[in-house]
């Protein structure tokens, strides 16, 4: 029974990784061009699978992207995500410190997991900023 949450987490991460892999932009593109390429790649996959509701959503996203995306606005949005993620890491670090002072092993482990997740999200945000 203890393995059930681990299995669910693994499955979620696997599916998320598969989705991220499919959403990769064409090599060499940056900024709005890379984002457009990623949306187009997702759209092609959705069409190939016959997923009409996902196709509709991605077509709308592509239209919105075309109308509103500028490299400057995209960079600002990504910088904000990095700042938010850094704040989250700082908060999770404080939470872990509190748990360690109390000495509750279960809480320490939970806080360590949450901190690791937050650090991963921060790294993902930094990686996106560099695109």
Could you tell me the two tokens for 58? 């991605």
Are residues 63 and 99 located together in one domain of the fold? no
Interval 56-86: pLDDT, tens:
999 999 999 999 999 999 999 999 999 999 9
Q: Answer positive or negative: Cα dihedral of 112, 114, 115, 119.
A: positive
Interval 14-68: pLDDT, tens:
444 444 445 677 777 888 998 999 999 999 999 999 999 999 999 999 999 999 9
Are residues 55 and 36 located together in one domain of the fold? yes
Are residues 56 and 75 located together in one domain of the fold? no
What pLDDT is recorded for position 29? 84
Are residues 43 and 98 located together in one domain of the fold? no
The closest of 23, 19, 40, 25 to 131, measured between CA atoms, is: 25
pTM of the model: 0.65
What pLDDT is recorded for position 23? 62
From 69, 84, 103, give the residue that closes a domain: 69
What pLDDT is recorded for position 20? 44
Q: Which residue has the higher pLDDT, 4 or 25?
A: 25
What pLDDT is recorded for position 28? 76
């Amino acid at each position: 029974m203890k393995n059930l949450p681990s299995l669910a987490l693994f499955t979620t991460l696997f599916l998320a990784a598969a989705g991220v892999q499919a959403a990769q932009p064409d090599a060499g593109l940056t900024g709005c061009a890379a984002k457009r390429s990623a949306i187009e790649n997702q759209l092609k996959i959705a069409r190939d699978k016959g997923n009409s509701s996902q196709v509709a959503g991605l077509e709308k996203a592509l239209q919105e992207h075309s109308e509103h995306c500028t490299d400057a606005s995209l960079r600002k949005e990504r910088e904000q995500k990095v700042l938010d993620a850094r704040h989250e890491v700082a908060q999770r670090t404080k939470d872990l410190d509190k748990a360690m002072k109390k000495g509750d092993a279960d809480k320490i482990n939970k806080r360590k997991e949450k901190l690791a997740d937050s650090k991963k999200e921060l790294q993902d945000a930094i990686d996106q900023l560099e695109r």
